[in-house]
Structure 1
Amino acid sequence: MDGSETIAIPARVPLANTPLGVMASLRTGRRNVLELIPEIATRQPMVSGRTVKRWHMVMDPGANRRILKDRVEDYPKSDVTKLILKPAIGDSLFIAEGAHWLWQRRAAAPAFSVRHVQALAPVMTAAAERAAERIAAQFGRAADLFEEMVTATFEVISDVTFSGDEAFDRDAVHVAIGDYIASTARVSFLDIIGAPMWVPRPSRLFAGRAMREMKTMADRAIDRRRETGARPIPDLLDLLLEGEDPETKRRMNTAELRDNLLAFIVAGHETTALSLAWSLYLCAFDPAVQARAREEAQAALGGRAATVEDLPKLGYCRQIVDEALRLYPPAAFLSRTAKAHDTLCGREVRPGDTVMLPIYALHRSHKLWPNPDRFDPDRFADAGAIDRFAYLPFGGGPRICIGASFALQEAVIVLATLLSRFRFSQVTGREPKPVLIVTLRPEGGVWLNVADA
C-alpha cells in the first residue's frame, strides 16, 4: 500500500502546527503533553527551539543510541522528570543516576531474570481468568476495558510484590497512585520556565499525604517480611531482600526496597494496563486483525487461560501488543538534561539544554515507518529487522526498563485469554483520546461492546 491511498487511522492526537510561547506551553502541557510536540517532528530527525531554556526533540535512531547508550552519563534524566516522580518513588532505579543507580540495578537484576519472570506467570494466568469472568458478566453491553485492565494488572503487581501481606492495603495504594497522577504529576509553570529544583512547586506542596501513608504502609510490610521470612514461592519482595550488588555486596535497606517496589507497582501495572487497553481498542478497530488473533489464541488455548508455556504459539498476539506499544507507548515522552557539549544530527547541544525523546513522534516518524499512523501488527513479523533505537516503548541502552519482559509476558497472557473468549467491537461516539500526563492514557476510557467469541 503506498502513502497516497486512503487508510483507516485509529485514534491520534493532532500535534502542534505553530510555535508555543511560555503560557501556551504551560496550558498545553497541563492538558496533554503530546500536544507540545510539533507535527514536523514526525518528518524530521531533530527539532530545536527555546522556551526560556534551549530544547531539542530527537527522533533519529542514531542520535537516540548516543543519548541512551553511548553517552548515557552525559544525558541524565531531566530535573522536571525527577521533580514529578521523586515524591512517589524516591531515589529508586527510575530516578537515580550514576553509581547509585548502578548498584541498585545490579542488585535488582536477578529478580527480573527470565527464570524468575516465568515463575511468576501463574499469577498472570489467574488474573487473566478473573478478568475473563468479570468481562463475561457484561455480555451484550459496553464495558470500559481500560478499567478492567487496570484491575487485572494491579492484581498481578500486588500479588508479585507483597503477596498475601495483610499489612499492605492494596486498595489504599491504588487510590494513592491514581490521586498522585491526577494532580501532583502534572507539569507546572515553574517546570516550563526551567526554575531550579529547590524552588517549591505549589501544586506539589499539599498533595503528598496519601503518598506518605502509602510509604509508611510499605515500610511496615517490608519489616514484617524480614521477620516472617520468604514465601514458599518467592515474590519480588523476597527476591529483592535477597538481592545484592555483586561488586560491592551492598543490599537495599527498607527505604530503598520501598521506593523500588513502589516504582515497580506504579510502572508495572499502569504501563501493562495501558498496553492491554490500547491493544483491545485496536482489535476492535480492525475486526480482521482481531479474528486472526482469536483463531491463533483458540488453537493454542482450547478454552483455558493462557500460560507461559503457550507464548511460543501466540506470536501474532505478541505482534498486536508490539504495534499497540508503537502507536500508544505508555512512556511517550522522555526528557534529559545535557551535561556536556555534544553534536546530535549535526546540531550543537550545550550543557544545560533540555533534550527530549518524544517517543510518540519517533514511533510515528514518516522517515522510519511506512504509513506510520496505520495499525499494522505485521510490522513486527520480523522484529529483528527494526532498528533497536527506532522503537523505544521501554527506553533503551543500559537504563532500559528492568521489567520489560515481565510486562510483555503479562500482556500476551491476558490478551490471548480475552481474545479467545470474547469478540470486541467499537462503541459509536466513544473513541478514546490519547492524553499524556505521566503515561499515555485513553481519556474517557476504552469502551467496547462485549460479545461471546
Structure 2
Amino acid sequence: MSQTATLSRPAVPVHVTLVTEPMGVLASLRAARRNVLSIIPAIATRQPMVSGRTGKRWHMVMDPGAIRRMLLENLDNYPKSIVTKNLLRPAIGDSLFVAEGAHWRWQRRTAAPVFSHRNVMNLGPVMSAAAERSCARVAYAGPRAVDMAADMVRTTFDVIADVTFSGDGMFDADAVHRGIDAYISEAGKISLFDILGFPDWVPRPGRLMSGGAVNEMKRVADAAVEARRARGPEGVPDLLDLLLEGEDPETRRRMNTAELRDNLLTFIVAGHETTALTLGWSLYLCAFDQNVQDRARAEAQAVLQGRAATGEDVARLPFVRQIIDEALRLYPPAGMISRTAQKADTLCGREIRPGDTVIIPIYALHRNHVLWDDPDAFRPERFADRKSIERYAYLPFGDGPRICIGASFALQEAVIILATLLSRFRFTPVPGRDPDPVMILTLRPEGGVWLMAEPMTPREQEESPA
C-alpha cells in the first residue's frame, strides 16, 4: 500500500508502506502476490541486516560490505534463488539472467562485446527516432492527460524491437509483446509452490494460463533467428547480428538457436520493461518537482536546440542523467533480489546456513537511513558527485560479475528519451492520480503515470532559464 495523494502535494514522492509487525507464511504469501515489497520490514531501512523465519530461514542484507561479499567476493556461494529461477525459466530458459557457473560464464563472455560502447553508440539513432515518435504521440493527444507510463512502454519496446531485429519482417513484435505481458501479469505472481521450492514440473496454476502466449513468443523468436541466420547481416549490425557472430573467446563456442532465442528474449524483456519503468518514474518525479523539471528542461534545450537527443549528447546532459539515477534509487525496477546460500558463511557477524534465503532488498537499501541523507526525498543533485556514492549502497543494475550487461544501453536510451521529452513539454501531475509503486517481477507504477503535457512554444524555449 502506498502513500496516496492529499489536498496538497506530499512532502515526498509516493512510496511503499513497509511492514512493522512479523508476518506468517500465508500472510506473507498474500502480501507478496499483491506487492513483493510489502513484505519488507520497515526496520530494514535503518539496520544493516534483518533475519527471520517464514517457512524457512531468511536474511535481508543492507550492509554494503556484506553485499559486496555476496555479489563479488563469494559469488558462487549465492546463486539466484529457486523462487527466481522457477519464475523466469519457463519464459527465458537458462539464459544469462538465470544460468549459473560455467554455463553463465561462457554466455557472458560471448555476449559482452555486443554491448560495447561502440555498438551501443551505433544504436543511438534508433533511440532518437523513438523519442521523436513519442513526442509526436504526446502532442497529438492534445490538452488531455496522457499515461506516460504506457507511452514509455511503447517507446522502449519500439527501440528494443528495432535494435534487436532491425525491423525484420520475420519478427512479429506484437506477438512477442503479448507473450511478455501475459507472462509477467499472470505467471510472474509468486506461488506457494515457488516459495516451498517445488520443482518446475509441478504445475503452477497461473503459469498454465500464460503458457500459450509464451510458446507463441518462443516460436516467433526462433523463426526470426533462423531467418536471419540464413539471410545474414544488412547495414549496421543489430543485436541479433552481433549475437550470431559472437563466440566465447576461450572455447570458440557459439550459441545455438535456443540459446540465442532465450538470450534475445531476456534482452527484450529487460531492455524495454526496465527502461520504460525508469522513464515513467522519472517523468512522475519531474512533474512532482517543477523546479527540478525546469532545470532539466533548460539543460536539454541548451544542448538540443529543438532536435531529438543523440548518443553523443548524453555526456552533455548531466542533470538529466542525475534525475534518472535518482529515479532508479527511489524506484529500482528490480526492487529485490534473492539468493540461496550453498555453504555456511558469515554476514554482518551473523551465521548463514546452507539453504538459507539471503535477500538484498534493493528498495530498502536505496532508502536506508544509515546510507542516504533524507532517503525518501527526491534529490537528483545527490548524484552530482558519483564518487561520493558508496558502490554497494546503490544497485539499480546489480554489481559484481553479474552486473546488468545492458546497463550502458539502458542509461543512454533513458537520457535520450527523457531529455527530448522535457525539452518540448512541461509535465504536470493530474490531481488524485498518483501512481502506486507495486512490484511483482518489476516495480511498476500501478494505475499509470497520468500527466498533463503542455507543449513548449518557441518563445518559451528561448526564455527558459539556463
Deviation track 1:200-243 (CA, whole Å, cap 9, x = no partner) reads 32322342111111111111111110111112110000000000
Task: Name the structure 2 match of 1:259.
Answer: 262
The code of the aligned residue for 2:328 comes to: L
After TM superposition, the structure 1 = structure 2 runs for residues 50-199 of structure 1, keeping only pairs within 5 Å, are 50-199=53-202
Distance 1:202 1:177 in 2: 17
Query: What are the Cα deviations for residues 51-70 of structure 1, in whole angstroms up to 9, with x where unaligned?
Result: 11100000110011000111
Aligned to 1:56, the other structure's residue is in SS state strand
CA contact (8 A) 2:48 2:63 kept: yes
CA-to-aligned-CA distance 1:4-38 (integer Å, 9 cap, x gap): xx981000010011111011011001000010100
* Mapped partners of 2:200, 2:156: distance in 1: 33
1:79–1:197 Cα contact (<8 Å) kept: no
Describe the SS at the equivalent of 1:230.
Answer: coil
1:318-357 alignment runs, 5 A limit: 318-357=321-360
The secondary structure found in structure 2 opposite 1:368 is: coil
Q: State the distance in 2 between where 1:351 and 1:304 align.
A: 56
1:136/1:7 CA distance change after superposition, 3 Å: closer
* 1:168 positional shift: 1.2
Report the Cα distance in structure 2 between the residues aligned to 1:441 and 1:254, rounded to whole angstroms: 32
Tell me the CA shift for residue 104 of structure 1.
Answer: 0.3
Q: 2:284: which partner in 1? A: 281
Distance 1:425 1:284 in 2: 5
Taking the TM superposition and a 5 Å limit, the aligned residue runs for 1:7-26 are 8-26=11-29
Aligned length: 448
* Partner secondary structure for residue 68 of structure 1: helix
Q: CA deviation at 1:197?
A: 4.8
Q: Which moved more, 1:277-286 or 1:304-313?
A: 304-313
CA contact (8 A) 2:435 2:449 kept: yes
Stretch of structure 1 that moved more, 100-109 or 198-207: 198-207
Q: Distance in 2 between matches of 1:7 and 1:202?
A: 40
Rounded to whole Å, the distance in 2 between the matches of 1:187 and 1:33 is 9
Shift of 1:312: 1.7
Q: Does 1:204 pair with 2:188? A: no
In structure 2, C-alpha distance between the alignment counterparts of 1:30 and 1:375, rounded to whole Å: 28
Partner of 1:452: 455
Distance 1:7 1:215, change over 3 A: closer
- Whether the 8 Å CA contact 1:139–1:452 is kept in 2: the answer is no
1:198 Cα shift?
Answer: 4.9
Are 1:228 and 2:231 counterparts? yes
Q: Distance in 2 between matches of 1:85 and 1:240?
A: 21
Specify whether residues 389 and 350 from structure 1 end up closer, same or farther in structure 2 by C-alpha distance, changes over 3 A only.
same
Of 296, 300, 306, the match for 1:297: 300
- Distance in 2 (CA, whole Å) between partners of 1:295 and 1:437 is 36
Deviation string, structure 1 residues 330-377 (Cα, Å, up to 9, x no partner): 011100000010000110000000000000000000000000000000
Task: For 2:322 and 2:167, locate their aligned partners in 1 and report how far apart those are by CA, in whole Å.
Answer: 34
Q: What is residue 40 of structure 1 aligned with on the other side? A: 43
Deviation per CA, 1:61-109: give whole Å up to 9, x if none.
0011000111110000000000000111110000000000000000000
Unaligned runs of 5+ in 1: 1-5
Letter in 2 for 1:337: T
Distance between the aligned counterparts of 2:362 and 2:163, measured in 1?
29
1:260-294: per-residue Cα shift (whole Å, max 9, x none)? 00000000000000000000000000000000000
Moved more, 61-70 or 202-211: 202-211
1:173 deviates by: 1.1
CA contact (8 A) 2:280 2:449 kept: yes
Does the alignment pair 1:416 with 2:419? Answer: yes
Which residue, out of 357, 367, 383, partners 1:380? 383
3-state SS of paired residue (2:210): coil
2:445 to 423, 442, 445: 442
Q: How big is each residue's C-alpha offset from its partner over 1:138-180, in whole Å with a ceiling of 9 and x where there is no partner?
A: 2321100001000000000000111121121111111111111
- Aligned counterpart in structure 2 of residue 219 of structure 1, from 222, 239, 242: 222
Offset from partner CA, 1:177-207 (integer Å, 9 cap, x none)? 1111110011011223344555432322342
State the Cα deviation string for residues 372-416 of structure 1 (Å, max 9, x = none): 000000010001221111000000100000000000000000000
Matched, 1:369 2:372: yes
Most deviating of 163-172 and 217-226: 163-172
Please point out which of 392, 397, 400 is paired with 2:395.
Answer: 392
For 1:327, the aligned partner's letter is: L
C-alpha distance in 1 between matches for 2:74 and 2:359: 15
- Conserved? CA contact 1:22–1:193, under 8 Å: no
TM-score (norm 1): 0.97
> Partners in 2 of 1:359 and 1:197 — Cα distance?
27
- 2:59 and 2:93 map into 1 onto residues whose CA distance is 27
SS in 2 for 1:48: strand
**Residues in 1 aligned to 2:346 and 2:206: alpha-carbon distance in whole angstroms:** 36
Q: Answer whether contact 2:109 2:248 (CA < 8 A) is retained.
A: yes
Q: For the Cα contact (< 8 Å) 2:435–2:446, is it kept in 1?
A: yes
Structure 2 portions without partners, runs of 5+: 1-8, 457-466
* RMSD between superposed Cα atoms in Å: 1.1
Give distance in 2, aligned partners of 1:79 and 1:34.
Answer: 18
**2:427 and 2:451 in contact (8 A); partners too:** yes
TM-score computed with the length of structure 2 as normaliser: 0.95
Q: Which amino acid aligns with 1:209?
A: G
**One of 422, 430, 436 as aligned partner of 1:433:** 436
User: Is the CA contact (8 Å cut-off) linking 1:7 and 1:374 kept in structure 2?
Assistant: no
